[in-house]
């Protein structure tokens, strides 16, 4: 530490409420203007840091920790997922890793359901038609979409966000099936009127498949060409979890060739790049990783990250620690 105050490196902009918490307790560095620092420059800035607040923009691994030095105590990641963090490498160096679960559940589920509606009812396609000033007139066959009442939503990963998505779908009269590493408690199934299915059966039967599983080596390209081929040709895929859960090239081909009817995507395999095949298609609704992008949610996420960092620096347990 520098004197009695810890050095805290904030790798990207976070809301003022969270910065104020950190500045009360330590000397805070934040990029000005806000930008994603290349690894070499970031590692220089990290030197001597006691704590780092990171986002999905940074790769946090052993090299990151070594650049900070042996006094680094905590990395507070402003996200639920932590696939950008090598948790075992940091644990080996005695660095606590934290994330921000719970506070973004509803915001992300809202985006997922918004994409579901946009894809099934062709809202993005309709807006593009109007903005292009394409002549049109109302008639009974114009831009027909797909209704969702009575349809089956297949949720892959019935965690907090998956459950919130299922709750929204029930309110719209949808039936719920789900798959995952383990079956949900009986009371959760009863509340959602949800049925557990093996993933291959879910893919065959669901009208809409919504992804809410974390990105792990096992879930990378979980939805590949074979999985897409198993889905109904009238089905839709929604992804608001992590881009690499889906083989984006395979998805673009499936959408182009009518293997499935459409998709709604908030995340992409090589963000910020999007597979060019997807950009050419009207049957995919897209957003630029807006799942948690409300003022209230991002403030809550950053504040939780700040509280995690300060707790560890004070020698107290983290509020939401990630364990290897």
Catalytic residue numbers?
Answer: 242, 271, 289
What Cα–Cα distance (Å) separates residue 183 from each residue in 68, 191, 199, 211? 41, 14, 12, 16
Task: Say which residues have a Cβ less than 8 Å from residue 311's Cβ, sequence separation at least 6.
Answer: 317, 318, 319
């Amino acid at each position: 530490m520098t004197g009695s105050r810890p050095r805290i490196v904030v790798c990207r902009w976070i809301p003022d409420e969270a910065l104020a918490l950190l500045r009360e307790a330590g000397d805070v560095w934040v990029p000005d203007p806000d930008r994603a620092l290349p690894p070499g420059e970031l590692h220089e800035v990290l030197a001597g840091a006691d704590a780092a607040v990171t986002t999905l923009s940074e790769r946090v691994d052993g090299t990151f920790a070594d650049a900070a030095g042996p006094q680094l105590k905590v990395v507070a990641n402003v996200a639920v997922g932590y696939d950008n963090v090598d948790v075992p490498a940091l644990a080996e160096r005695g660095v606590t890793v934290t994330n921000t679960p719970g506070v973004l559940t509803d915001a992300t589920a809202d985006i997922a359901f918004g994409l579901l509606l946009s894809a099934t009812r062709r809202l993005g396609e309709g807006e593009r038609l109007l903005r292009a000033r394409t002549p049109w007139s109302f008639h009974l066959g114009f831009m027909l979409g797909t209704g969702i009442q009575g349809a089956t939503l297949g949720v892959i990963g019935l965690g907090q966000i998956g459950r919130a998505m299922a709750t929204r779908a029930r309110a719209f009269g949808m039936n719920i099936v789900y798959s995952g590493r383990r079956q949900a408690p009986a009371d959760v199934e009863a509340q959602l009127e949800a049925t557990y299915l093996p993933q291959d059966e879910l893919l065959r039967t669901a009208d809409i498949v919504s992804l809410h599983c974390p990105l792990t080596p096992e879930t990378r390209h979980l939805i590949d060409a074979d999985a897409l081929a198993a889905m109904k040709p009238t089905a839709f895929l929604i992804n608001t979890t992590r881009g690499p859960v889906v083989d984006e090239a395979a998805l673009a081909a499936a959408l182009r060739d009518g293997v499935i009817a459409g998709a709604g995507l908030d995340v992409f395999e090589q963000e910020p790049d999007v597979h060019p095949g997807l950009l050419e298609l009207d049957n995919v609704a897209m957003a630029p990783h807006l799942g948690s992008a409300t003022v209230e949610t991002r403030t809550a996420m950053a504040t939780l990250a700040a509280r995690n960092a300060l707790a560890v620096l004070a020698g107290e347990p983290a509020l939401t620690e990630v364990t290897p």
